[in-house]
Amino acid sequence: MTTIDKSMPVLVTGANGYVASWLVKYLLEDGFTVRATVRDKTNEKKVGHLLALSKAHEGKLSLHNADLFDTGAFDDAMAGCEVVFHTASPFIVRGLKDPQKELIEPALKGTHNVLESANKTETVKRVVLTSSVVAIYSDSIETLDQPNGVFSEDDWNKTSSVSHQPYNYSKTLAEKEAWKMAEAQSRWDMVVMNPGLVLGPTLAQASDSTSLSTMLEIMDGTMRTGAPDLRFPLVDVRDVATAHIKGAMTESASGRHILVSGSASVMEIAGWIKKAMPGRCKLPLWQAPKFLIWLIAPIFGITRDFVKKNVGYPIEFDNSRAKSELRIEFSALEQTVVDHAQQIVDDGLIN
């Protein structure tokens, strides 16, 4: 049981990111004092929305530079904090030249670095780690080996590697490192969030998150001539932020938490957008057969092995733990998608 004093500051790493920006906003609205780490607090494009939040909540939000690769970079910002929300980690799945350097090292070294700072900071009582469902599974085909076809918090990704699903591998290694470090000491405990693909409107205008590029690709015509039969485990970004705060404040919270509202295919997502804003976006017109996707995959920077193991399979998660322990009420997926699509249109991100 860990009791958190709400008057003590909390730290959020990667605070300018897509997920973390909602977390920072909700923490401020809940009255917390937030220390936000970013890579460059003078980069207006990246942190403009945080500066606006800081203005709206005077004296409650401070920005601190910290890179995941720099030893000790998080020490100063963490001083005096009881809770550390570690969200910073790249979420990039395509266009990678060196996955080891671009994904695995920042995820793994970054987690080690942040938790080393927690080990040095006497006030830290709880770490809330943003992991992912991809630390639970690698490819949708694994569904076939699951009891009832459903993944739970007991499952671990055993098959990703640097060359296959490197993002999934980075999150798996990082979460394992975090558990190793959490179990090697007794002052702070750890609560882990394992979200599915996060969707919903973004507050961050300059995020590299695959969440944002995925929605854009569904809406901007990229998949006009045929969408893959891919199903995503989905969750609303606002629910993910709420779950992080509940993970920090629920005294008895422990272990991993699957944050997935349900799953949907690309064509289902497109159907919801079409219903909400008919004729507004260049949505996929049909679902292409798997052999065609397999054939053209490399043109889109996707491996044929990925297509083989992910296209055409269901994907389901048991979210009961997050519901019972954290009292999360997941949003309806259709509303999440429509809100996200509306923000994309309102921000002029598609023609």
Residue 81 or 197 with smaller CB distance to ligand NAP: 197
Residue 173 or 288 with smaller CB distance to ligand NAP: 173
205: DSSP letter: S
Please pick, from the candidates 12, 54, 61, 87, the single residue that binds ligand NAP as defined by CB under 6 A: 87
Please pick, from the candidates 121, 132, 138, 157, the single residue that binds ligand NAP as defined by CB under 6 A: 132
**Residue 180: which residues within 8 A CB-CB, separation 6 or more?**
none
HSE at residue 308, side-chain half, CA atoms within 13 A, is 6
274: annotated active-site residue:
no
Closest distance of CB 286 from ligand NAP, Å: 26
Q: Measure the CA dihedral 202/203/207/210, to 10°.
A: -20
**Do residues 121 and 77 touch, judged by C-beta distance below 8 A?**
no
Residue 37 or 288 with smaller CB distance to ligand NAP: 37
**Do residues 78 and 126 touch, judged by C-beta distance below 8 A?**
no
Closest CA to 203 of 37, 53, 33, 11: 53
Using CB under 6 A as the binding rule, whether residue 207 contacts ligand NAP is answered as: yes
Residue 18 or 294 with smaller CB distance to ligand NAP: 18
Closest CA to 17 of 104, 86, 74, 103: 86
Structure tokens at 135: 């630390």
Residue span binding ligand NAP (CB under 6 A) among the ranges 154-162, 202-210, 271-279, 317-325:
202-210
Residue 162 or 296 with smaller CB distance to ligand NAP: 162
Please pick, from the candidates 33, 117, 121, 130, the single residue that binds ligand NAP as defined by CB under 6 A: 130
Q: Measure the CA dihedral 244/179/33/109, to 10°.
A: -110
Using CB under 6 A as the binding rule, whether residue 234 contacts ligand NAP is answered as: no
User: Which candidate in 46, 171, 246, 309 is catalytic?
Assistant: 171
Site for ligand NAP, rule CB under 6 A? 14, 16-20, 39, 46, 67-69, 87-91, 106, 130, 132, 171, 195, 197-198, 204, 207-209, 211
Q: Give catalytic residue positions.
A: 171
